[in-house]
């Protein structure tokens, strides 16, 4: 785990408090597989295949993948809601089969759907949830949790009067009542507008800064890129990449320079040939180069030498979307179309 990771300041839930030393990995999955049994006319479905993952303690980890990739299956196995077919999984060092009680106590899951009883106040909801988890009243941290999630002043309000963003934060609060060291957020910002998304990201970062390991599933590349220190990409039940975010981004050490010319060209002029630009339109050239090479000054010089007047210039950096496309290129979707893995990927 990175040296500058904070340690948890909130006490661990009583079920896991007796642990001698903290695990290096908050979650460890080895050779995990899941085949759903056939139902009716549909045959068996291989949803996860030989998945290996190690989520370092303190990390903000993104599990990114298109629809049907297997994200929910994976987190539902961790949460004890789906039985795996093979492999092992440990949460906070506890084996989900042999130490079920401890492993469940170590994880909190925030589901996608907003299922909150509107007639309770946030405080009552959290107290009820803590009761369900068997947290003794003296160990409950209702107000602290509401505080962290920016809901302390709404503790006594009816939930039906809360805004959509507040309700989402309340869902996160609910998953925190037993103070799990690992928090799973399943598509936390699906259908949430930009402003609320930013708010929620801020709270997620706060929780992580307090030491909670966060596993977030998302379709949104932007979300994973902004928020996560490590990203695993899952497609058709297989993990196809798992790397620190900057390293993943460095994989495509490429940049694009688009040059809009004042007059049309028939061919690439000689002084520009060595850069191998693409004439994408009669008056538009695209240069692709490695960020580390940075030949922009030379390109501009060559344009001047070729007596070409530049009307506009634009650069594009490779982002996760490009990496995702590269990794999943040629993959086949469930509908059989080619390169469809991007279909469920929104920015």
Which residues bind to ligand ATP, rule: CB under 6 A? 36, 45, 47, 65, 67-73
* Residue found under tokens 């790397």: 243
Smaller CB distance to ligand ATP: residue 93 or 237? 237
Minimum CB distance to ligand ATP, residue 304 (Å): 50
Q: Is 186 exposed, middle or buried (0-12, 13-18, 19+ CB in 10 A)?
A: buried
Instruction: Give the nearest distance from C-beta 80 to ligand ATP in angstroms.
Output: 15
> Considering the complex, what minimum distance in angstroms separates the CB of residue 107 from ligand ATP?
17
The dihedral built from the CA positions of residue 203, 209, 215 and 219, taken in this order, carries a sign that is positive
CB of residue 246 to ligand ATP, shortest distance in Å: 25
Residue the block writes with tokens 């440990």: 90
First to last CA, the chain: 29
Is residue 261 within 8 Å of residue 279, measured between CB atoms? no
Closest approach, Cβ 328 to ligand ATP, in A, equals 13
Paired tokens of 246: 């900057």
221 in helix, strand or coil?
helix
* 54 Rama sector, left if φ>0, alpha if ψ -120 to 50, beta otherwise: beta
| Tokens of residue 252, six digits | 């495509």
CA distance 319 to 56: 24
State which residue, 38 or 315, has the beta carbon closest to ligand ATP.
38
Please, what is the minimum distance in Å from the beta carbon of residue 237 to ligand ATP? 7
Q: How near is the Cβ of 162 to ligand ATP at its closest, in Å?
A: 25
Smaller CB separation from ligand ATP, 44 or 118: 44
- Inter-residue contact 229 to 217 (CB < 8 Å): no
CB atoms under 10 Å from CB of 215, counted, come to: 27
CB closer to ligand ATP out of 71 and 174: 71
| CA 338 to chain CA mean position, Å | 24
* Minimum CB distance to ligand ATP smaller for 65 or for 165: 65
CA atoms within 13 A on the CB side of 146: 18
Residue with Cβ nearer ligand ATP (73 or 129):
73
- Name the residue nearer to ligand ATP (CB basis): 81 or 304: 81
């Amino acid at each position: 785990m990175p040296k500058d990771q904070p340690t948890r300041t909130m006490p661990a839930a009583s079920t896991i408090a007796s642990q001698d030393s903290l695990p290096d990995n908050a979650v460890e999955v080895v050779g995990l597989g899941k085949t759903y049994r056939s139902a009716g006319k549909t045959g068996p479905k291989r949803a996860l295949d030989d998945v290996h993952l190690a989520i370092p303690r303190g990390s903000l980890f993104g599990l990114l993948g298109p629809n049907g990739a297997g994200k929910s299956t994976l987190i539902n196995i961790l949460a004890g809601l789906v039985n795996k077919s093979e492999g092992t999984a440990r949460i906070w060092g506890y084996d989900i089969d042999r130490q079920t009680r401890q492993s469940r106590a170590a994880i909190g899951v925030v589901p996608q759907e907003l299922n909150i009883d509107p007639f309770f106040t946030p405080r009552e909801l959290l107290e009820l949830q803590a009761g369900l988890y068997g947290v003794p009243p003296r160990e409950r941290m209702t107000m602290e949790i509401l505080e962290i999630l920016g809901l302390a002043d709404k503790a006594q309000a009816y939930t039906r009067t809360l805004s959509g963003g507040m309700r989402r934060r309340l869902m996160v609060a609910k998953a925190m009542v037993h103070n799990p060291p690992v928090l799973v957020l399943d598509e936390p910002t699906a259908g949430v507008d930009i402003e609320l998304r930013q708010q929620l990201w801020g709270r997620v970062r706060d929780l992580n800064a307090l030491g909670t390991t966060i596993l977030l599933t998302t379709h949104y590349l932007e979300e994973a890129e902004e928020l996560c220190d490590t990203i695993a990409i899952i497609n058709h039940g297989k993990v196809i990449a798992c790397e620190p975010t900057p390293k993943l981004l460095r994989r495509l050490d490429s940049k694009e320079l688009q040059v809009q010319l004042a007059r049309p060209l028939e061919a690439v002029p000689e002084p520009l040939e060595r850069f191998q630009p693409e004439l994408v339109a009669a008056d538009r050239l695209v240069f692709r180069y490695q960020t580390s090479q940075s030949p922009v000054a030379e390109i501009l010089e060559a344009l001047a030498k070729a007596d070409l007047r530049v009307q506009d210039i634009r650069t594009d950096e490779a982002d996760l979307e490009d990496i995702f496309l590269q990794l999943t290129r040629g993959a086949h979707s469930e509908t059989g179309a080619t390169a469809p893995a991007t279909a469920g990927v929104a920015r």
